Structure 1
């Protein structure tokens, strides 16, 4: 009878506290990515020389995320000055707003705002305004996808800042838009001074002082709704499992006109090129899932020693061309991937020696550019796997991926009970018995 004893006030309080702690834990870990546990963007602020009223610094952003990159229109970096600093001049980047510099009678600074916002310069910038790793329009590739192009830098001359390690103060409240929200940056921390190698490789110089800032990504902060979904099909079942309905929102043109666009609309061009065409908000084709991106996994063929999969990525967003796109797919048979057609492949091993995670991306100048919604808005490839006799099966959805990411965002999978299943064994037995009975009857009638 004790188990039916009413809850005491202490028990109820304990339950409330447990629920609160569990929600707090979720909030704190929402930026954690199990497939890229150490992924972040690290900002290094290196003071390379002192000036009469401040210093010259080189600021570099390193993208240490394996598969998440910064796409066009690029990054915007902001902060709050600790004192009354101004930016006298810049190379490799520029402030988006000069601010009020009226107190300077001659040669006004480049930026006088308390909270400046900095953007990268565009390709083709004159050489006398460039520094190393600049002028890419704010685009930074992922570390695994292009390891030689995962950094972006600019140089700035700061005034009214102090002229020694004891008087200078680091900026506060760093923000990173890449290009929209999603990143949360920590405080600037004094680090070991960076060392630089001269172009001839014969001399090493050292920064006067170095601050490090770490920014981590949260998909929930970037966008409240998912950005992609996964659909499934197979050769052994006629069922095509679509993306779950309303995965990324629902069609609601009655209350929110223009929330989606019909592909056959005669006014399609005017809507796509109308107001807001430069907005980062997706303008998607009307579908049941309403996602900008759909990834389709089709189990295509079954050989004696191999099996084959076709992967198709479709863009339903009329406002976005995805350059340098990538997929991350988790499946236990990637350890036996034999051949891949028209995509690049790199194994990721977030769980040490277990090779069940693959990064896929397009071949340069061929299909690394995923066009906006329309007839050309898709890329596809096929994967050939060797069978492992100890693990291979088509049962219980084993042939389908466990997790799929597009450009670093986790895609919504269909519910497991909806996966295409093998034909019922009992149905095959009944069918075979019927065929045998009919054949016997025909044989008996012919030769009676």
Structure 2
């Protein structure tokens, strides 16, 4: 009886930890977002097979930036990689057993990276050679795919003798991905370019990788500040929003950056080099309620990069606000509702216009992008009271930003604790000055 109770307790604890893991990886704003890895065995060889590996990012607003993805796994038997096209293994390993034909990699647990742009044509296949950068599905599905081909040996050369690799890992720049075990699925069907012939893979297996911000970083990576036309008070990002572990290593002014960067270039350090701020975040998003019209209201959004080492390419900004179902016009940014068939439709994604503002440059005078949006009022729900005009959540590049406490939001001047409001000109001047030094 005691043993059964012990077994039951262990089962309950295991279920709790499993549930916590699932919850940590679940994103309510992108519930079906994941990176799918499909491994298609295209043909058999004398001692193995040739496979096409395709990585598809189905996440709506989370992508993989430079230095790009790395994909790892553990072979089930004593497999080797004879050759690769469109990618390469980072280590060859011990291939001393081979005297004539030397494999590309003999590692038991190989790690593979994408090739850089501009490699010779005979080393390329479709959707390869982008330096491991993979776009988000919501921005551009055609940029959300990365592929490579490999020839595997010593694996068996039939459906009955091939064993699926194990322990897949996907490491983007921020890590945070957890991958499932490989699973056999129906072989992929392929249609010829002219559409007249249909073929299929010999075998196909799938791996699904999901992202968890908790696993990627113990602290947020961005924060939100707020202001409004009806209150001269500016609500800053909470102090140490992104942790203060870099407080002693931050750069106090742009003039100091040259010597610091020169020193860091002589080391292998990849730690963030941040501008000294109260919040110590690489990214700050500022939401300013700018103007009020009879039937509309206007918001200005600013994204500032405080990181001296990173250009944020193909960035995304996700905002949850109940009035986003009535967006009338967006300036300078692209906009896409994230849940277009949901009746609430309160979440949208903003991202840069290609070749204009899709790259958020390093900290400095050019390290910011801005946009304004006009929203139509729903007279049944619209109000400036109790912070309604400010967003519920903001994500930058797929990570949720630290928000001020609701009691710190700019309040209406007619509230019981209102202070005298400065003129519009003075308020605008204060906003400009304070944002410069945060």
Alignment TM-score, normalising by the size of structure 1:
0.87
Which aligned pairs between 1:354-369 and structure 2 lie closer than 5 A?
A: 354-369=344-359
Which aligned pairs between 1:250-289 and structure 2 lie closer than 5 A?
A: 250=244, 257-258=248-249, 260-264=250-254, 266-275=255-264, 279-289=269-279
How far off its partner does 1:275 sit? 2.5
Which of 174, 177, 180 is the equivalent residue of 2:171? Answer: 177
Checking the alignment, whether the CA contact within 8 Å between 1:85 and 1:112 is kept in structure 2 is yes
Query: In structure 1, what is the equivalent of residue 57 of structure 2?
Result: 63
How many Å separate the matches in 2 of 1:198 and 1:280? 45
Checking the alignment, whether the CA contact within 8 Å between 2:246 and 2:280 is kept in structure 1 is no
| RMSD between superposed Cα atoms in Å | 2.1
Question: Cα–Cα, structure 1 residues 426 and 66, in superposed 2: closer, same or farther, change >3 Å?
Answer: closer
How far off its partner does 1:200 sit? 2.2
Query: In structure 1, what is the equivalent of residue 230 of structure 2?
Result: 236
How far off its partner does 1:351 sit? 7.9
How many Å separate the matches in 2 of 1:411 and 1:68? 14
Greater mean deviation of Cα atoms: 314-323 or 27-36 = 27-36
Query: In structure 2, what is the equivalent of residue 395 of structure 1?
Result: 385
Q: Deviations over 1:281-313 (max 9, x none)?
A: 321111111000000000000011110000000
How far off its partner does 1:202 sit? 1.5
Greater mean deviation of Cα atoms: 42-51 or 23-32 = 23-32
Question: Cα–Cα, structure 1 residues 35 and 323, in superposed 2: closer, same or farther, change >3 Å?
Answer: same
Q: Deviations over 1:53-112 (max 9, x none)?
A: 000000000101010001111000000000000000000100011111111011200000
After the TM superposition, which parts of structure 1 deviate over 6 Å for at least 4 consecutive aligned residues? 17-24
Query: In structure 1, what is the equivalent of residue 69 of structure 2?
Result: 75
Structure 1: unaligned runs, 5 residues or longer: 1-16, 432-448
Query: In structure 2, what is the equivalent of residue 383 of structure 1?
Result: 373
Greater mean deviation of Cα atoms: 317-326 or 350-359 = 350-359
How far off its partner does 1:273 sit? 3.5
Query: In structure 2, what is the equivalent of residue 222 of structure 1?
Result: 216
Structure 2: unaligned runs, 5 residues or longer: 1-10, 422-438
Question: Cα–Cα, structure 1 residues 21 and 104, in superposed 2: closer, same or farther, change >3 Å?
Answer: closer
How many Å separate the matches in 2 of 1:97 and 1:419? 53
Which aligned pairs between 1:429-440 and structure 2 lie closer than 5 A?
A: none
Query: In structure 1, what is the equivalent of residue 157 of structure 2?
Result: 163
Question: Cα–Cα, structure 1 residues 418 and 203, in superposed 2: closer, same or farther, change >3 Å?
Answer: same
Query: In structure 2, what is the equivalent of residue 200 of structure 1?
Result: 194
Question: Cα–Cα, structure 1 residues 18 and 125, in superposed 2: closer, same or farther, change >3 Å?
Answer: closer
How many Å separate the matches in 2 of 1:271 and 1:426? 49
Question: Cα–Cα, structure 1 residues 84 and 360, in superposed 2: closer, same or farther, change >3 Å?
Answer: same
Alignment TM-score, normalising by the size of structure 2:
0.89
The answer as to 2:142 corresponding to 1:148 is yes
Query: In structure 2, what is the equivalent of residue 290 of structure 1?
Result: 280
Query: In structure 2, what is the equivalent of residue 370 of structure 1?
Result: 360
SS of equivalent to 2:362:
coil
Q: Deviations over 1:97-134 (max 9, x none)?
A: 11111110112000000011100111111111111111
How many Å separate the matches in 2 of 1:171 and 1:425? 63
SS of equivalent to 1:284:
coil
Checking the alignment, whether the CA contact within 8 Å between 1:35 and 1:350 is kept in structure 2 is no
Checking the alignment, whether the CA contact within 8 Å between 1:34 and 1:350 is kept in structure 2 is no
